[in-house]
Amino acid sequence: MINISNQERNAAPDIKNKQISKHSKYSDNKWDFSYENPKLKKCDVTFNFEKLVFNDGTNAGRD
């Protein structure tokens, strides 16, 4: 789980450059945790915001 405090979340533009993992920043549309979990398949340790779809049909992709 990613632990980002409310203070960090409210510090927008700085949060965009927050390093989430070795290969990903907060502002990326895909968070890759393969470096931190080398024994797992990359598809099991990657979160793709573009594939996250809400009930109204919109997605969470951040451009």
Task: Say what the pTM is.
Answer: 0.63
Domain extent listing, the chain? 18-63
Q: What is the 3-state secondary structure (H, E, C) of 2-60?
A: CCCCHHHHCCCCHHHHCEEECCEECCCCEEECCCCCCCCCHHHCEEEHHHCECCCCCEC
Using the predicted structure, report yes or no on whether residue 1 has a pLDDT greater than 60: no
Query: What percentage of the chain has pLDDT greater than the value 70?
Result: 73
14 band by pLDDT with thresholds 50, 70 and 90: confident
Q: Find the range with the poorest average confidence among 12-16, 28-32, 42-46.
A: 12-16
What's the chain's average pLDDT?
81
